[in-house]
């Protein structure tokens, strides 16, 4: 059982979300008592179907922007809309969930043994002028743009949590999560992997923004969860840690892979959205050195697994492509 042998209690905020629900499953498998908190703004209870059958999982409807009354020795904070479609639709809720949520977690944790592992994001780097992005890079972020509610909300949360670590002695660990994909992604979340898979499965052309030369680094969700769990096992960390897959692909290359796997779909081009990063690739030197973290799932294999999940959830009646 390792870290979870004594049934330590973990609070997972955003537990019904894509990454949060996978983390819940891993924690239960490792022997933890898990409390899942979610206001279901973007989460889906179906993601917790397996966890709900475990007597060591307890779901609570709640919002991190409100005072928290949960006893936990560890908090894993995934509470925040994380896709452009969601956070641009609810910018104020996104920003306040990040910042007020961090402040409430600090109040809950201060003065007693409690570890906060906070899910930050590669978006704190904005549209980077340094490539790949190390944790020491301060970023290139538009503070008043359409994506600012998410970018600056996450940056503000990092500020509050780091001050709590320095001034209040709270055990804070910050993971800067790069583009992650896998089963349970929401169909309409606006992320490129889910967009392409849904479009391909219903027989629509894949939407390419710009010329498709912008790059992303895609980390399969199981690899990310492993990295997060290693951060829990490691002990206190005095600086953020990038977690992601350093393999870099253009959007056009991803589109071709999806077309190979599904078949029979074309391409449709649109203008590049405002403040859309042109390059995104993590420098994971720190994660490799401290955690022994090294993603294992190749893009083709991960996309194929995700495709199978999407095909099953969409239903055969709306699936146009073959395997």
Write down the pLDDT at residue 241.
98
pLDDT band at 45 (very low <50, low <70, confident <90, very high): very high
Claim to verify: residue 158 and residue 89 sit in the same structural domain: yes
Closest CA to 245 of 213, 284, 202: 284
Residues 197 and 114 in one domain: no
| Structure confidence at residue 159 as a pLDDT band (50, 70, 90) | very high
Say which residue, 263 or 13, is predicted with more confidence: 13
pLDDT of 4 reads: 45
Same domain, 237 and 303: no
In a domain, 114, yes or no: yes
Q: What angle do CA 250, 256, 258 make, to 5 degrees?
A: 105
- Asked whether residue 8 carries a pLDDT value surpassing 70, the answer given is yes
203 and 67 within one domain: no
Residue 105 included in any domain: yes
pLDDT at residue 316 above 60?
Answer: no
pLDDT band at 147 (very low <50, low <70, confident <90, very high): confident
Quote the domain boundaries for residue 310: 192-215+247-281+297-318
Q: What does pLDDT average to over the chain?
A: 91
Number of domains composing the chain: 2
Do 205 and 113 belong together in one domain?
A: no
- Please state whether beta strands 215-216 and 249-250 pair in parallel, antiparallel, or not at all (unpaired): antiparallel
What pLDDT is recorded for position 275? 60
What is the DSSP track for 103-149?
HHHHHHHTTS--EEEEEEEGGGGBS-SSSSB-TT---B--TTSTTHH
**Start-end of H helices in the chain:** 18-29, 84-89, 91-109, 148-163, 192-201, 221-234, 251-262, 285-291, 299-314
pLDDT (0 to 100) of residue 323: 33
CATH number at residue 223: 3.40.50.720
Please report the pLDDT score of residue 3 as a whole number. 53
Residue 176 falls inside a structural domain: yes
Q: What pLDDT, on a 0 to 100 scale, did the predictor assign at position 321? A: 39
187 domain residue, yes or no: no
* Token duo for residue 89: 């639709």
Both tokens of residue 112? 């007693």
CA distance linking residue 232 with residue 237, whole number of Å: 10
Q: Mean per-residue pLDDT for 141-153?
A: 91
pLDDT of 322 higher than 70: no
Answer yes or no: is pLDDT of 188 > 90. no
Count other C-beta atoms under 10 Å from residue 73's C-beta. 16
Percent of the chain with pLDDT over 90: 76
Q: Give 99-140 pLDDT, tens digit per residue.
A: 999 999 999 998 789 999 999 999 999 988 999 999 999 999
Tell whether 222 is covered by a domain: yes
**Residue 226 and residue 309 share a domain:** no
Which one is catalytic: 87, 125, 150, 181?
Answer: 150
Q: How far apart are CA 28 and CA 30, in angstroms?
A: 5
The 8-class DSSP code of residue 173 comes to E
Q: Are residues 46 and 80 both part of a single domain? A: yes
pLDDT tens column, 219-230: 999 999 999 999
**Alpha-carbon torsion (71, 178, 206, 273), positive or negative:** positive
95 and 224 in a single domain? The answer is yes
Structural domain contains residue 164: yes
Confidence of residue 96 (pLDDT cuts 50, 70, 90): very high
Please check whether residue 290 lies inside any domain of the structure: no
pLDDT, residue 71, reads: 87
Q: Is 150 a catalytic residue?
A: yes
Asked whether residue 26 falls in the same domain as residue 69, the answer is: yes
Are residues 161 and 273 both part of a single domain?
A: no
pTM tops 0.85, yes or no? yes
pLDDT band at residue 5 under the 50/70/90 scheme: low
Residues 226 and 265 in one domain: no
**Does the residue 289 lie in any domain?**
no
Same domain, yes or no: 56 and 198: no
For residue 262, is pLDDT > 80?
A: yes
């Amino acid at each position: 059982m390792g870290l979870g042998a004594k049934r330590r209690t973990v609070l997972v905020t955003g537990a019904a979300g894509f990454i949060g629900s996978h983390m819940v499953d891993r924690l239960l498998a490792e022997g933890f008592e898990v409390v899942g908190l979610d206001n279901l703004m973007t989460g889906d209870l179906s993601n917790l179907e397996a966890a709900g059958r475990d007597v060591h999982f307890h779901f609570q409807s709640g919002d991190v922007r409100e005072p928290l009354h949960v006893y936990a020795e560890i908090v894993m904070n995934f509470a925040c809309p994380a896709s452009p479609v969601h956070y641009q639709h609810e910018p104020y809720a996104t920003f306040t969930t990040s910042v007020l949520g961090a402040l409430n977690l600090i109040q809950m944790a201060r003065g007693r043994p409690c570890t906060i592992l906070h899910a930050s994001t590669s978006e704190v780097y904005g549209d980077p002028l340094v490539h790949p992005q190390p944790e020491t890079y301060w970023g290139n972020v538009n503070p008043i743009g359409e994506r600012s509610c998410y970018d600056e909300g996450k940056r503000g949360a990092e500020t509050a949590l780091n001050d709590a670590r320095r001034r209040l002695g709270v055990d804070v660990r910050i993971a800067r999560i790069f583009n992650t994909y896998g089963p349970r992604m929401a169909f309409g979340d606006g992320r490129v992997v889910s967009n392409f898979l849904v479009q391909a499965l219903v027989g629509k052309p894949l939407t390419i923004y710009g010329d498709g030369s912008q790059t992303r680094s895609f980390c399969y969700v199981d690899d990310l969860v492993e990295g997060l769990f290693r951060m829990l096992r490691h002990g206190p960390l005095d600086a953020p840690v990038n977690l992601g897959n350093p393999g870099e692909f253009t959007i056009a290359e991803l589109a071709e892979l999806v077309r190979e796997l599904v078949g029979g779909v074309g391409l449709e081009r649109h203008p590049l959205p405002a403040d859309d990063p042109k390059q995104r690739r993590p420098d994971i030197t720190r994660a490799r050195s401290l955690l022994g973290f090294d993603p294992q799932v190749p893009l083709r294999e991960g996309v194929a697994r995700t495709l199978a999940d999407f095909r099953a959830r969409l239903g055969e009646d709306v699936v146009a492509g073959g395997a």
